[in-house]
Structure 1
């Protein structure tokens, strides 16, 4: 009887707080632990599954959040960082204009505007990639992807059989780089550093001038052979000579690349005032804004979009010429290269204003060298594969223009110095060339055939 009363009195003691706090906590902890154990006995895997699912959901959520951050940062740096990118919507507008109106003039104009920021952003992505490849490979990449616009347009034009458009656009790219791009670089750099002459490596300039003269030789002989009527086999010797010469020029350009990358000092490292190369000049507060693989991804994306717009552009050239009453020669030699050289134009001016004239020279003259020694022969070989009669006969007017341009630039580069007056001279020469092609009547049809005398 007494035992029963003692056991019953435990509850009132708990309620009255007769037990100390430590005993109460021990009692509650044991009860809570025992309930968890019982639950795990009833469902041994349920709690483990809940924990793994929640951790996997949290990990996937973190990954998605990181991806969104990376994509938004990339869009901010690559797409929204340049005011020129305001022209990007004109690309889709060109496609809409083609599908809805079919007006070739508007399609050409909108495509031209849409390609302009793509060419400039292609140069930006290449510059970012150059931080990871070194200055020499980076300079060559800059020249290569800077010319991607012209090469893509040329391949689409070849596909349509517009051989004359290919010839004139490649010629215009060389003239634009040598006169307009280099002239603007000299002029802007000379204005910033007007109290002194800017210096660059004379040896590198001499090698580039020699390659350009070799390209002129390659274009001159087929034209002379044609206009002197001294072909051994009429209609065949000129084309055979062009294809043979193109293969020789490609070999020469490959040897030039090997010479620059393996056996020669770095032409893309700026010179100091004493004429020696200054390796530290490239590292003054400059760092890549995006990673290597992000640069490669953006290069691929913009190249694909550039290819799409280039097809619309090429298809609208002839219609735009008729609609605007502008010669195809002027459109091909002046308008197309100005858009295609947007990347080189921006890069050359930027480096010249930082007193890194060797890099500006490498971009402008290097791009001209690449088009003349690689781009033109490459298009001849591609036309050969496609069954197109693409040759090196650019006709007398165009070949003479190129020859005189190379001579003028070679004379201005021989001292190894530049100033704003030399830049002004080159820009004025470009205006003369533009005016000449505006009044020049090309007696050749877009597919390369003669239309009259």
Structure 2
């Protein structure tokens, strides 16, 4: 008994020493690592020291700014295209060659749109999956909305309509197709699955958007307006208000009804997800503001040189509006949707691609009609017969592919090939309304 009690005492003494060593080691690790990860702790440590607390705070702030710039600006090779934005402005000032200005603006906006998606993704870490998906869709489409507003100010209604239509087509066919294809290649041995019910809700909203665009076009081409030139515009504005109301109800449904289920799934998946935010919440908000302002500056130059580029390159304005502009604007959706699909998070990819299309069709297009109404511009929902038919067929194809709730690389390849057919169609399509709308630029 004496030997056993002596051994127990020695063992307990050893355990106490090990615990003391661990606590000391943890304290040292916390003192070394936590200042880099938590600026608030660094500030408190600096303030606790006698004298030099202001110097420490300034150094901490400067290091935080440098680290944030390094993470946001220099962590992707696509940012090598950023100098083309200032180059476009210089070319516009000194040469006035609209084709090159348009081309450089396209190259300069592409990394900005991608970084806008990155900052949104970082902010989504602090807001949760539901609000994060909405933020992805909102700021992912910020480029298209900014371009549309500048085009509307210049009276280029057809460019606004076709660029918004092209954004929907690009997200539904190209972005979703690349996500399905990439995920199918990575997970070749299994079929990826996603929430079929949520995809069905988005498909229903897209069909409602097609209805809103179809009736003004049919009214125009059948010449059955009660008041020619006025009934079509009045119907478009009324339908836009209804679509905005439906989108608001959809947001309420997503945030209130679906959120508890998503929070439960987040708790279950938290053990397998080791991702952490790289920048803080306020850094994300600041970067979103900076990138949005810079995109606005380049968008003004981009819109002002669309027709000049069409003339210089001998490319239809409809092809530039429907294909080229959305590809640049949807760079953020491309990157995030493919990334999540390759991580077997297909629900997020679907939320980015289809959710972005839903937001453009149910919010972007109607809000542009309302903004045009306030600006005195005749922006309506008559997207002409060719464009409306293209959207209708696209929504049907995507709805049929989503109804099973599964994806593979072949479905992705089908969507990509469908987008190639759409692109070729608009390359040989000359829009009479766009030609008649051309105005001399100042």
| Shared fold per TM-score greater than 0.5 | yes
User: Relative to 1, partners in 2 of residues 1:311 and 1:168: Cα closer, same or farther, differing over 3 Å?
Assistant: same
Task: Report 1:254-293 matches (<5 A).
Answer: 254-265=248-259, 279-280=268-269, 284-293=273-282
- The whole-number CA distance in structure 2 between the counterparts of 1:369 and 1:124 is 21
Residue 410 (structure 1) aligned with residue 422 (structure 2): no
User: What is the aligned partner in structure 2 of residue 205 from structure 1?
Assistant: 199
User: Relative to 1, partners in 2 of residues 1:159 and 1:91: Cα closer, same or farther, differing over 3 Å?
Assistant: same
Shift of 1:266: 6.5
User: What is the aligned partner in structure 1 of residue 25 from structure 2?
Assistant: none
Residue 232 (structure 1) aligned with residue 232 (structure 2): no
Task: Report 1:6-405 matches (<5 A).
Answer: 58-265=52-259, 279-280=268-269, 284-405=273-394
Shift of 1:59: 3.6
Deviations 1:192-232 (CA, angstroms, capped at 9, x unpaired)? 11111100011001100000000000000000000000000
User: What is the aligned partner in structure 2 of residue 15 from structure 1?
Assistant: none
User: Relative to 1, partners in 2 of residues 1:174 and 1:269: Cα closer, same or farther, differing over 3 Å?
Assistant: farther
What's the TM-score once normalised by structure 2's chain length?
Answer: 0.86
What SS does structure 1 have at the residue aligned with 2:434? coil
- The whole-number CA distance in structure 2 between the counterparts of 1:217 and 1:332 is 22
After TM superposition, what 4+ stretches of structure 1 lie above 3 angstroms from structure 2?
Answer: 55-60, 265-270, 276-279, 446-450
- The whole-number CA distance in structure 1 between the counterparts of 2:159 and 2:261 is 33
Shift of 1:417: 0.2
User: Relative to 1, partners in 2 of residues 1:189 and 1:267: Cα closer, same or farther, differing over 3 Å?
Assistant: farther
Check whether the contact 2:112–2:291 (CA below 8 A) recurs between aligned residues.
yes
What SS does structure 2 have at the residue aligned with 1:444? helix
User: Relative to 1, partners in 2 of residues 1:147 and 1:403: Cα closer, same or farther, differing over 3 Å?
Assistant: same
- The whole-number CA distance in structure 2 between the counterparts of 1:448 and 1:404 is 27
What's the TM-score once normalised by structure 1's chain length?
Answer: 0.84
User: Relative to 1, partners in 2 of residues 1:251 and 1:447: Cα closer, same or farther, differing over 3 Å?
Assistant: farther
Shift of 1:279: 3.8
Check whether the contact 1:269–1:282 (CA below 8 A) recurs between aligned residues.
no
Shift of 1:66: 1.6
Shift of 1:335: 0.3
User: Relative to 1, partners in 2 of residues 1:448 and 1:222: Cα closer, same or farther, differing over 3 Å?
Assistant: farther
Check whether the contact 1:162–1:446 (CA below 8 A) recurs between aligned residues.
no
- The whole-number CA distance in structure 2 between the counterparts of 1:425 and 1:113 is 28
Check whether the contact 2:159–2:434 (CA below 8 A) recurs between aligned residues.
no
- The whole-number CA distance in structure 2 between the counterparts of 1:277 and 1:412 is 27
Corresponding pairs, count:
391
Return the index of the structure with the highest Cα Rg: 1
What SS does structure 2 have at the residue aligned with 1:158? helix
Shift of 1:71: 1.1
What SS does structure 2 have at the residue aligned with 1:229? coil
- The whole-number CA distance in structure 1 between the counterparts of 2:396 and 2:281 is 39
Check whether the contact 1:268–1:358 (CA below 8 A) recurs between aligned residues.
no
- The whole-number CA distance in structure 2 between the counterparts of 1:98 and 1:56 is 55
Instruction: Supply the RMSD in Å over aligned alpha carbons.
Output: 1.9
- The whole-number CA distance in structure 1 between the counterparts of 2:171 and 2:228 is 35
What SS does structure 1 have at the residue aligned with 2:433? coil
What SS does structure 1 have at the residue aligned with 2:160? helix
Unaligned runs of 5+ in 2: 1-48
User: Relative to 1, partners in 2 of residues 1:346 and 1:238: Cα closer, same or farther, differing over 3 Å?
Assistant: same
Deviations 1:280-312 (CA, angstroms, capped at 9, x unpaired)? 168611000000000000000000011000000
Shift of 1:68: 1.7
